[in-house]
Amino acid sequence: MKETFSLFFFLSLHAILIFSAAGVHSTTLKLANECSFTVWPGLVSGHGTPPLSTTTFTLAPGGLASISIPAASWSGQLWARTLCSYDSTGGFTCLTGDCGTGSAECGGALTVPLATVAKFNMSGNGGLDFYSVSATHGYNLAMLVVPQGDYEGNCMASACVDDLNGGCPSEASSGCTATCFAFGDPKNCCSGDNARPGICKPSEYSLYFGSRCPWAYSYVYDEDDEKEKSRAFACSLADYLITFCPRPSLAIG
């Protein structure tokens, strides 16, 4: 019995040491609002990954908030909602980046256009984090994602820091819509028979996004465009600072 307990203790200790040596890392997402207006971040977890502690909160100008990501792999997206308000019945809507739930909480994926989105796939292939800034849902404000901490690998910032609203091809009163939401057909949505690199081509909208924000996705197959490099970046053991309206602050409109 004593020998059995000793063997069990040795194996358990050995497993703990191996687990520790693997370098389990709990990621922190830091959200900073450098806009001149309040934003309501939306955070949605990908299918099959654990939900975060919140899907939204109010972030005033100059505000900073931290979200802890579980050590297990996580994927999801986040963005800033703007010009949000409650109506007389208690319904909650935002002019850009609305979740489509009718409430402050975001219960699912981004359903309404006009939002710059940061996408993450934590601890994916090879234990790397993959992240990108995307205008495939449209654009409402500048966004910057910067790895922080004692990270490993060739970690780079991903961003769309230019103000695109002034010359936007869309007729939207606030924010730029995306090609798919503007036209809604398979050709512009890269769906159906058009869901292939080389078949789905950039449009007037995505070309505008791509020329002003070369380090962000402008349409689904943007990384396959021979004129540009991949917009997805990889990093290991990093925390991430996501800044809305990185200085100089950019106003909507």
Pairing type for strands 75-86 and 64-68 reads unpaired
Do 120 and 76 form a contact (C-beta atoms < 8 A)? yes
- Using CB atoms within 10 Å of the CB of residue 80, give its burial: 0 to 12 exposed, 13 to 18 middle, 19+ buried: buried
Query: For residues 29 and 183, which has the higher predicted lDDT (pLDDT)?
Result: 29
What tokens appear for 216 in the block?
């962000």
pLDDT of residue 188: 65
**In whole angstroms, what is the distance from residue 112 CA to residue 81 CA?**
11
Type of residue numbered 51: P
Compute the average pLDDT of residues 96-113.
Answer: 78
- Residue 118 is inside which H or E element, if any? strand 117-121
Higher pLDDT, residue 97 or 61:
61
The pair of three-digit structure tokens given for residue 125, joined into one six-digit string: 């292939």
pLDDT interval class at 66 (50, 70, 90): very high
Please compute the mean of the pLDDT values over residues 29-56 and round it to a whole number.
91
For 117-143, b where at least 16 C-beta lie within 10 A, e where not — what string? Answer: bbbbbbbeeeebbbbbbbbbbbbbbbb
Q: Which of 8-12, 19-23, 112-116, 218-222 has the highest mean pLDDT?
A: 112-116
Domains of the chain: 24-244 (2.60.110.10)
